[in-house]
Structures are given as C-alpha cells and as structure tokens.
Structure 1
Amino acid sequence: MTSIRPAEPGDVPAILALVKELAAFEREPHAVVADTAMLHHALFEERSAEAVIAEAEGRPIGFALFFHNFSTWTGKKGLYLEDLYVTPEARGGGVGTALLRHLAAIAVERDCGRFEWSVLDWNQPAIDFYRKMGAAGMDEWRVQRVSGQALRDLAGT
C-alpha cells in the first residue's frame, strides 16, 4: 500500500537520489549540482520549498517538490510543482495520481488560485497523464531562464 507524507530532514538523501534519477530520465544526469546540505537548507531551514514522499513498505517510491508562487491576475498564491518523480518499478500503480491529488488538496486547503507545473515537450506519456488528470496545456507560453554567467551578467556583477 502506498502512503504519502511530508518529507522530514532524514529524507533528504532519498530525495536527492530521486532527483538524480529524475535528471537521468530527463536526459540530463550531470545537471544536478544540488547536494544534501543544499536541499536540507532549502526544505527545512529556509523553507523555500516543500516536499512529500510516496512510500510503499517503508521505502520511498516517489516524491513531489513544490513551492508557492503568486498570480497578480487571481490575486492569490499558487502552488507550483517543481518536480514529480515515481520510480520505474512503481509506475502504473497510481502513485503519480496519488501525488497529484495530494498536492491539489494542499492547494485547495491553502486557498491557492492555481496549481501549475511544466513538462518536457518530448515526454508524451507524462503529457497524456496530465491531460487525463484535468490539466490544460499552456502551449502559448514559453519558459524563459537566465542562469550561470548570463545571470551574473544581467545582474551586472
């Protein structure tokens, strides 16, 4: 039986391992620079993000990491899902559905105006799953990112 619970400080190594599995799945295994200290700081000290763990028989089989954003149009905070990952052996068993439903319940409980996330355009199984769950694609929007040296250049530092 699968259960979902808030992440605890002792879960950080498992969360990092799942993040690395996700990065490998997304074809960027070397892109993860986060370490356990960074994740611990973000989740349990700074509290800039939150995570939930999906477990079966006491072992992690998935996670979701999320944070609040804000919509000027709705005048409310939103819940933004940064990462959702289910281990390959647990896929197809309803874990992803349970994680999304759990986060939707958090969004409703916290009076969020929106629950949003991004998906890679080549990940058709995920896109199909999200459509089945009621998500609408925002295909007219394009994510923009500035990082690394470009971020420092933009900041003038």
Structure 2
Amino acid sequence: MTGTVCVRHARPADLPRVVELAAEHAAYEKAAPPVPDLAARLARLLFGPETPRLRCLVAELADGQLAGYASCSPEVSTWEGREYLHMDCLYLRAEHRGLGLGPLIMEAVAAEARSLGLNEVQWQTPVWNEGAIRFYDRLGTHAKEKLRYTWPVSV
C-alpha cells in the first residue's frame, strides 16, 4: 500500500476533506464536533499571510483520496529552554489503518521537525486508545503520563 501513497503538505483545495477527517477524528475520540467555520480557521492558520502557525500533512492515495492527516506546530518547553514540534492530531480513516500509512505520516512529521531545526516531537493520545498506544510503542516512542486540562476563557 505504501507505494501508492504520498504524504504531503495540505493545500487549500484539501481543506474540505481535512475538515471531514477532523470531524471523523472528533467522533472517534468521543469529542464535540469541530466548529462550523473550521475550514476558514484552518485556512488562516495554514495559509494566511503570515508565517504559518500550523502545519498539516495529508496521506493521499493514488486515486487522490485523503486517507488521513497529521497537524503540528512548534511549541516551547520552558524546562528545557527549547522548541519542539507538537503534533496535535494524527488520524487515519479506519479502513486505512494497519496498512503502513501511520509510519509514513509519522516520518513526515519527524521530517517537518527536522526542517524547522527541532529535534523532538511530542503529542498525546487518549488512554483508552490502545491501538494508537501499541502503534506509538512500536515506533520506539516514550510516554509521559499527565492529565490535560482545558479552561475556556472569554475573549
């Protein structure tokens, strides 16, 4: 399968499909659906006039279908006084899991980190997502247990 897949940066024309994948991802993680104007928000973050804040990599099949995506952005570790690449999302459609696409996307994320001069990628996954945990463990990654909090604040 990997010979028929291209992992590349998302293009503006990909946004409707990326939004669909994000909605599938949210449903898979039992989260609220994405905001209605997600495509416009992502367009600003990915393709706005300033340096992109967000990067999105897509796995494109030979027929042009997007099988999954990963999104990431540089962040800062105060304790280490350095930047790292934070992978916010990694999602493959159910029918494309176990076919070798995950390692391809992860290598593309690692290449993105290297292109930015960053030597580490960090992310999180739900504790119940045993398939993802097995996948990440097979890659040789290291888990750190923490709780993630969200705190909505008014703007």
TM-score exceeds 0.5: yes
Does the CA-based 8 Å contact 1:76-1:113 persist in structure 2?
no
Instruction: Count how many residue pairs are aligned between Structure 1 and Structure 2.
Output: 148
Q: Report the 3-state secondary structure (helix = DSSP H, G, I; strand = E; otherwise coil) of the residue aligned with 1:111.
A: coil
Distance 1:129 1:145 in 2: 26
Q: Could you say which residue in structure 1 is the equivalent of 2:72?
A: 66
What is the CA RMSD across the aligned residues, in angstroms?
1.5
Distance 1:42 1:105 in 2: 20
Does the CA-based 8 Å contact 1:71-1:77 persist in structure 2?
yes
- Structure 1: 4+ residue segments shifted above 6 A: none
Q: Report the 3-state secondary structure (helix = DSSP H, G, I; strand = E; otherwise coil) of the residue aligned with 1:85.
A: strand
Stretch moving more, 100-109 or 114-123: 100-109
Q: Could you say which residue in structure 1 is the equivalent of 2:33?
A: 31
Unaligned runs of 5+ in 1: none
Q: CA deviation at 1:122?
A: 0.6
1:42 aligns with 2:42: no
1:54 aligns with one of 59, 69, 88: 59
Does the CA-based 8 Å contact 1:74-1:113 persist in structure 2?
no
1:92 aligns with 2:95: no
TM-score normalised by the chain length of structure 1: 0.87
Unaligned runs of 5+ in 2: none
Amino acid at match of 1:51: C
The sequence identity of aligned pairs, in percent, is 30
Distance 1:40 1:109, change over 3 A: closer
TM-score normalised by the chain length of structure 2: 0.88
Q: CA deviation at 1:104?
A: 1.1
Q: Deviations over 1:86-116 (max 9, x none)?
A: 1111111111111011111221232214200
Q: Could you say which residue in structure 2 is the equivalent of 1:146?
A: 151
Q: Could you say which residue in structure 2 is the equivalent of 1:134?
A: 140
